[in-house]
């Protein structure tokens, strides 16, 4: 390996450093702390809690009736599944390409995750979905818009309607995104968002559950641990919806507190602006990587309005040793790539076959995709210029690896080779 020459671009920013919390949010949080009333139901007179206000503002932003703030995105998914009525042993369809809390939420409610294959653009494979609905008789899809890639929601809607399968959306990476001008999170019976540090608004931990279904929301509110304070919600159903629900539903305590809600409300007001800032960074990377030999960028359909808070690219045909070499070369130049083909889970990056508790589910198409899939966060602390430098580093590092391959071994750009499939093991 040659060492980087002085003319080599090198990057020194941190891939895990988010922007500071806005001053307005800090002031609001300090005011909550000064009051001592951090619990969402600890209000005086006709005071409305920060959590109730956040819920109302988020429901309005999304254009839905109801919203409940809770402890995490994973918890929001558990609530949605439970409130929808998933029972022990029920099969629940979900993407094979997603983050571990998604099958984890299904497992938490006693459901049986059925993983669906991944298409070439990183979205759920709708043909495999069709087949697995028929095979398993599953009545629910927990759809993960993983890394912000939105499938053809029109085709998906027709397919689910045809089979009578309900949809819950995992919008951890699509807060602020849309399909055909309709907000991501408004397509199913419910949607779940995360306000964890690496998502689009940051309260450390936190989740938001949205729905237009008053009965589902009444169950979710009680499940979250509402202690009979339903009247202190601004984005919940009318009291009549609670009826027997309050008596028939367990308290599975997982509320949001007013400190986090106070931090989130001013960030919500910045969401649209930040989406533009992320997309400017995303474009800086894709413009530089577009056309680089051996590398493919997933296609983004015109109907999709995405938030480019991370970027993925595929090097189909790169063998595992060369993929590791690409990671190493980029790392030496300060660029932290994640690779979904690694044999063992690392950092946040794990893969369906690392979730051994699910039992073995053969997913050859997903394995082929993941073997060549690289992933990178684009925090807003990076400038647009930084993003160009990062992309140049990736392009240069990849070119060096391809140049070092024996001529008869250059399989890049071809259909995934047998060597790729080998790399998917582990």
Ligand X SMILES: *Cc1c(COP(=O)(O)O)cnc(C)c1O
Q: Which residues are near ligand X by CB under 6 A?
A: 72-74, 98-99, 101-102, 144, 146, 170, 172-173, 194, 196, 207
Report, in Å, the least distance between residue 166 CB and ligand X.
18
- In the numeric block, the tokens 């040659």 are attached to 2
Report, in Å, the least distance between residue 77 CB and ligand X.
7
Task: Name the residue nearer to ligand X (CB basis): 8 or 375.
Answer: 375
User: What sign does the dihedral 288-15-337-106 (CA atoms) show?
Assistant: negative
Task: Name the residue nearer to ligand X (CB basis): 189 or 328.
Answer: 189
Burial of 297 (0-12, 13-18, 19+ CB in 10 A): middle
Task: Name the residue nearer to ligand X (CB basis): 173 or 265.
Answer: 173
Pair 302, 404: CB distance under 8 Å = no
Return the residue nearest ligand X (CB atom).
Answer: 73
Task: Name the residue nearer to ligand X (CB basis): 117 or 322.
Answer: 117
Task: Name the residue nearer to ligand X (CB basis): 95 or 392.
Answer: 95
- In the numeric block, the tokens 């990056």 are attached to 349
Pair 280, 378: CB distance under 8 Å = no
Of 189, 211, 101, the C-alpha closest to 141 is: 189
Say how far residue 20 (Cα) sits from the centre of its chain: 21
Task: Name the residue nearer to ligand X (CB basis): 194 or 286.
Answer: 194
Report, in Å, the least distance between residue 171 CB and ligand X.
8
Report, in Å, the least distance between residue 402 CB and ligand X.
31
Report, in Å, the least distance between residue 3 CB and ligand X.
36
Give the integer Cα–Cα distance in Å for 220 and 310: 31
Give the integer Cα–Cα distance in Å for 333 and 314: 20
Report, in Å, the least distance between residue 95 CB and ligand X.
9
| Alpha helices (runs of H) in 249-332, residue ranges in sequence order | 258-289, 320-332
């Amino acid at each position: 390996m040659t060492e980087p020459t002085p003319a080599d671009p090198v990057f020194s920013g941190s891939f895990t450093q988010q922007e500071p919390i806005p001053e307005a949010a800090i002031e609001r949080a300090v005011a909550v702390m000064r009051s001592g009333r951090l619990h969402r139901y600890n209000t005086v007179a006709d005071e409305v809690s920060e959590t109730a206000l956040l819920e109302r503002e988020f429901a309005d932003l999304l254009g839905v009736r109801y919203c409940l703030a809770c402890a995490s995105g994973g918890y929001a998914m558990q609530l949605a599944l439970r409130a929808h009525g998933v029972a022990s042993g029920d099969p629940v369809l979900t993407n094979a390409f997603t983050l571990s809390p998604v099958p984890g939420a299904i497992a938490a409610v006693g459901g049986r995750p059925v993983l669906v294959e991944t298409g070439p653009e990183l979205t759920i494979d709708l043909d495999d979905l069709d087949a697995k609905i028929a095979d398993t008789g599953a009545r629910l899809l927990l759809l993960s818009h993983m890394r912000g890639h939105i499938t053809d929601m029109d085709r998906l809607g027709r397919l689910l309607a045809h089979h009578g399968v309900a949809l819950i959306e995992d919008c951890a990476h699509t807060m602020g995104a849309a399909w055909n001008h309709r907000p991501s999170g408004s397509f199913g019976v419910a949607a779940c968002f995360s306000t964890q540090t690496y998502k689009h608004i940051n309260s450390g931990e936190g989740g938001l559950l949205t729905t237009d279904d008053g009965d589902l929301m009444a169950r979710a509110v009680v499940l979250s641990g509402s202690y009979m304070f339903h009247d202190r919600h601004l984005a919940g159903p009318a009291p009549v919806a609670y009826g027997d629900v309050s008596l028939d539903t367990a308290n599975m305590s997982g509320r949001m507190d007013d400190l986090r809600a106070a931090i989130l409300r001013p960030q919500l007001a910045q969401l649209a602006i930040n989406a533009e800032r992320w997309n400017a960074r995303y474009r800086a990377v894709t413009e530089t990587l577009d056309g680089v030999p051996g590398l493919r960028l997933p296609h983004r359909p015109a109907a999709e309005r995405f938030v480019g808070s991370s970027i993925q690219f595929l090097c189909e045909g790169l063998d595992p040793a060369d993929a590791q070499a690409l990671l190493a070369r980029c790392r030496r130049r300060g660029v932290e790539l994640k690779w979904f083909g690694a044999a063992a889970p690392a950092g946040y990056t794990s893969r369906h076959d690392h979730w051994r508790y699910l039992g073995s589910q053969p997913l050859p198409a997903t394995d082929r995709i993941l073997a060549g899939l690289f992933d990178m966060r684009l925090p807003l602390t990076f400038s647009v210029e930084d993003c160009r430098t990062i992309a140049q580093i990736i392009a240069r590092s990849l070119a060096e690896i391809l140049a070092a391959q024996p001529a008869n071994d250059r399989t890049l750009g071809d259909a995934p080779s047998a060597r790729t499939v080998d790399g998917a093991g582990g």
